[in-house]
Structure 1
Amino acid sequence: MDTFVKEKGFSKDFKILVFGQIISILGSALLRFALSLFVLDMTGRADLFAVLFAISSIPILLTLFGGALADRFNRRHLMVLFDVINSVVVLIFYLTLWTEYHSVLGIGVVMVLLSIISAMYSPAVMASIPLLVREQHLEQANGIVNGVQALAGVAAPVLGGILYGLLGIKILVLVSGLLFFVTAIVEMYMTIPFVKRDDDGQLVMTLFKDIKEGFTYVVKQSFILKCTVLAALLNLLFTPLFIVGVPIVLRVTLEVSDSLYGIGMGIIDFATILGALSMGYFAKKLQINRLYIWVLVTAFLVIPMAIAVIQPMLQIGYYASYLLFTGCALVMAMMMTIISIYVMTLVQKETPNENLGKVMAIMMAVSQCMAPLGQMGYGLLFEIFRANLFIPILMICVMMLLLALLTHRLWRIHA
């Protein structure tokens, strides 16, 4: 591994990896959003716009197959292959735009294919990072990669809308297809260590077997299992608060203007990116046996958020409530991002290379599947206590305090 990280800072291979992430993840998300806008213009139906954009984000569980592939095949070859497939899919769709054969169904298929490829692409990237950077830079490297992913989520709707308006769908699709192809060529100059594994020639059965072995490995490895459980609980409790809770408070309770609402949501997105990019600094201050303190601080930050929506506070005027609520949300989003990346880095350091793709994929899939459950639960709570939103917010505080206690107990033996 040393041959790949001799130079100071990050190696050429890691920089190529990040470049590929920017084009593949951001490009895919941007194009999916632009295509959903195209459907809106074609049909005038907002429901189809929303459904297509939501469906294109469904293939989370295919991350597991991406993880199995990342441990079975050369990860550089996989990234190149995925970007070539992206390019072919997009360029074929570009050709159909000049005919009468493009339809809402066809656009939906393209969006789902792009989402599937993106889901398969991520485990190969996450499993490659420990092989391309020094261990002392691993947290910072993960922060950069996660920062790119967070930025893609924020920038895709903005850039997708702007470029769609400026270039039109045909030019945007053509440029995207060519960029995917250029990325594949650049990634061919990247070197990622790879040891070929024996197989019986039955790829599908082998992948299912590898996924099963991955789950067995995670369950048997106490430390990795604890990290996976913590990552899942963080996603269950924190992510829905920002996706469901914050919009309801800003729009329904505080009734802020469109501009203030956009600023509030943008602040949280910015905090996520800032947390990821500052990971290198905070990594030096984090210790596994003190991780519960970070969770505890986030729990206490929920209390001012509850105070922000009580009637006496609201009667003062919504500006004070708005500043208090969004300020605490900003700090929480940043801390949650740092904790999540730190936990993921611990797993990377603990997992041998031959299992790294599967373990990363399992951790990602389990965590991502918890967020929708939390969103449904939070949505129900916020609807039941619509007139007194401080009650569900305080309930969230209690759950986070319990998570801090659980975190303390889980890693007490590592003190």
Structure 2
Amino acid sequence: MQEKTIHTPSPKNFNLMVSGQIISILGSALLRFALSLYVLDTTGSESLFATLFAISNIPLLLAPLGGAIADRFNRRNLMVIFDFTSSAIVLSLIILMSVGSISVFTAGTSMVLLSIVSALYTPAVTASIPLLVEEQKLEGANGLVQAVQALSAVAAPVLGGILYGLMGLKTVVAVSCISFFLSAVMELFIQIPFVKRQWTGPVIPAIARDMKEGFTYVLKQEFIRKVSMIAVLLNLVLIPYFLVGAPIVLRVTMQSSDTLYGIGMGLINSATILGALSIGFFAKKMSLKTLHRWLFACALMMVLMAASLMPLFLGLGYYPSFILFMLGAIPIAASMTVISIYIITKVQIITPDKNLGKVMAIITAVSQCAAPLGQILYGVIFEKWSTQVFIPTFLVGIMTLLLGVLTWYLLKCEEVTPCTEN
């Protein structure tokens, strides 16, 4: 067993990476939003708009490949290459637009290509964080990176809508191209510890073996199997409710105006960001043995939300129901982020650096695959119970309670020991 390469984490390197992430992720989110809006304006087809969004998420399944690559090559160099590649893709789009208007196929192809690059890029980032910060600050660092991603998701529709409406698609595309380029330049100055591994054969078979090794490692590690199961169920049960259920509740059940609907969803998204930024505070008071308490609290908040949707409360007028619903939704949104980051950090602590990219990518891909299934399920359920939405909301509360019981059972004896392997 070899010890990890000794290095002194530098705040400068982490700050450079986060700054590059802010620019790169925002540029990507802006372009994705603007291209989707362009397709909607060009075709007038809402189904095509939704389909394009869904197709652009498929490349997330390539995350395990990105993880294997991140564990083989210099992660700083990978970030630089991927951002320059994204910039080149967008530059090609600009050239096509200068010749004439782009087709829906071209817009869709650009989104898919950028999603592929993103799926390969993200594992390099998540695997680099433990090498750039001290272990006691790891939760806060993970929280900051997730907050950047959440903030970009909130800001992109606002900024993208303004730029697209005032200056058109070409301006948004140009801003996105510049963003990727600037991010790549900033990442050139990052120093990330890297230990070169020997190749035992051609590159492609070696990467394939590394991916197999990653899946084998995840299956053999009992703790990682347990937290992966919790992450999958969280993405299947609770998270889709806020992606599908909450918009339906606010828009259809409560008949919210455009302003109040925006305020409601904005508060929920802001709670996600708040949870990510506050993980450093909560992590000091959390433990694996008591993680179930967070889910019990979420279950209680879901019951509160279900009560706000009962005919009795809805009969009291719009604001009492809206306020009670948000009093439950906001703490849950923040708690889900805290739980996710806490679990991710514990996995990072016990995973050797040579497997870190693969393991994080596999957990991300597996858990995120559960979310679309949950979204489809909730879409059907809310359509069936459209006049009694408090029933599915209450059932989600029951399932969250059961998830809390399962979490207690799985983690009641777990303790995390930092990895000393290279």
- Is the structural similarity TM-score above 0.5? yes
- SS of equivalent residue, structure 1 residue 184: helix
Instruction: Find the counterpart in structure 1 of residue 106 from structure 2.
Output: 106
Tell me, in whole angstroms, the C-alpha distance in 2 between the residues paired with 1:368 and 1:44: 29
2:28 is the counterpart of 1:5: no
Tell me, in whole angstroms, the C-alpha distance in 2 between the residues paired with 1:355 and 1:81: 21
Tell me, in whole angstroms, the C-alpha distance in 1 between the residues paired with 2:101 and 2:162: 26
2:192 is the counterpart of 1:188: no
Instruction: Find the counterpart in structure 2 of residue 335 from structure 1.
Output: 335
Tell me, in whole angstroms, the C-alpha distance in 2 between the residues paired with 1:268 and 1:39: 28
AA of the residue aligned to 1:175: V
Alpha-carbon deviation of 1:201? 4.5
Q: Once the two structures are aligned, what percentage of the paired residues are identical?
A: 55
Alpha-carbon deviation of 1:101? 7.1
Deviations 1:250-301 (A, max 9, x none): 1222112121111111110000001001111111111111101111111111
Distance 1:338 1:3, change over 3 A: same
AA of the residue aligned to 1:5: P
Tell me, in whole angstroms, the C-alpha distance in 1 between the residues paired with 2:402 and 2:338: 20
2:337 is the counterpart of 1:370: no
Instruction: Find the counterpart in structure 1 of residue 253 from structure 2.
Output: 253
AA of the residue aligned to 2:270: F
- 1:394-409 to structure 2, matched below 5 A, reads 394-409=394-409
Instruction: Find the counterpart in structure 1 of residue 419 from structure 2.
Output: none
Checking the alignment, whether the CA contact within 8 Å between 2:21 and 2:183 is kept in structure 1 is no
- 1:12-411 to structure 2, matched below 5 A, reads 12-100=12-100, 102-411=102-411
Tell me, in whole angstroms, the C-alpha distance in 1 between the residues paired with 2:22 and 2:229: 29
- SS of equivalent residue, structure 1 residue 62: helix
With the length of structure 1 as denominator, give the TM-score of the two structures: 0.95
Alpha-carbon deviation of 1:188? 1.1
Tell me, in whole angstroms, the C-alpha distance in 2 between the residues paired with 1:268 and 1:129: 27
Distance 1:327 1:116, change over 3 A: same
Tell me, in whole angstroms, the C-alpha distance in 2 between the residues paired with 1:173 and 1:373: 32
Deviations 1:217-268 (A, max 9, x none): 0111111111111111111111111011111211222112121111111110
Tell me, in whole angstroms, the C-alpha distance in 1 between the residues paired with 2:304 and 2:311: 14
Alpha-carbon deviation of 1:202? 2.8
Alpha-carbon deviation of 1:2? 6.1
Checking the alignment, whether the CA contact within 8 Å between 1:25 and 1:118 is kept in structure 2 is no
Checking the alignment, whether the CA contact within 8 Å between 1:231 and 1:367 is kept in structure 2 is yes
Checking the alignment, whether the CA contact within 8 Å between 1:224 and 1:350 is kept in structure 2 is no
Tell me, in whole angstroms, the C-alpha distance in 2 between the residues paired with 1:166 and 1:21: 26
Q: Which moved more, 1:200-209 or 1:109-118?
A: 200-209
Q: Which moved more, 1:251-260 or 1:41-50?
A: 41-50
Distance 1:194 1:59, change over 3 A: same
Tell me, in whole angstroms, the C-alpha distance in 1 between the residues paired with 2:170 and 2:414: 56
Checking the alignment, whether the CA contact within 8 Å between 1:291 and 1:408 is kept in structure 2 is yes
Tell me, in whole angstroms, the C-alpha distance in 1 between the residues paired with 2:223 and 2:126: 19
Tell me, in whole angstroms, the C-alpha distance in 2 between the residues paired with 1:389 and 1:45: 28
Alpha-carbon deviation of 1:44? 4.1
Tell me, in whole angstroms, the C-alpha distance in 1 between the residues paired with 2:248 and 2:37: 25
Tell me, in whole angstroms, the C-alpha distance in 1 between the residues paired with 2:101 and 2:148: 35
- SS of equivalent residue, structure 1 residue 414: coil
Count of aligned positions: 411
Alpha-carbon deviation of 1:105? 1.1
Q: Which moved more, 1:137-146 or 1:220-229?
A: 220-229
Checking the alignment, whether the CA contact within 8 Å between 1:64 and 1:365 is kept in structure 2 is yes
Gapped runs of 5+ residues in structure 1?
Answer: none
Distance 1:53 1:374, change over 3 A: closer
Alpha-carbon deviation of 1:3? 4.3
Deviations 1:74-102 (A, max 9, x none): 10010000001011111111111111373
Tell me, in whole angstroms, the C-alpha distance in 1 between the residues paired with 2:364 and 2:8: 26
Alpha-carbon deviation of 1:145? 0.2
Tell me, in whole angstroms, the C-alpha distance in 1 between the residues paired with 2:363 and 2:26: 22
Alpha-carbon deviation of 1:195? 1.1
Alpha-carbon deviation of 1:200? 3.7
Tell me, in whole angstroms, the C-alpha distance in 1 between the residues paired with 2:214 and 2:348: 14
Alpha-carbon deviation of 1:211? 1.5
With the length of structure 2 as denominator, give the TM-score of the two structures: 0.94
- SS of equivalent residue, structure 1 residue 110: helix
AA of the residue aligned to 1:320: P
Deviations 1:145-199 (A, max 9, x none): 0001111211111111112223322233223222312221211111111111122
Alpha-carbon deviation of 1:103? 1.9
Runs of 4+ in 1 over 4 A off after TM superposition: none
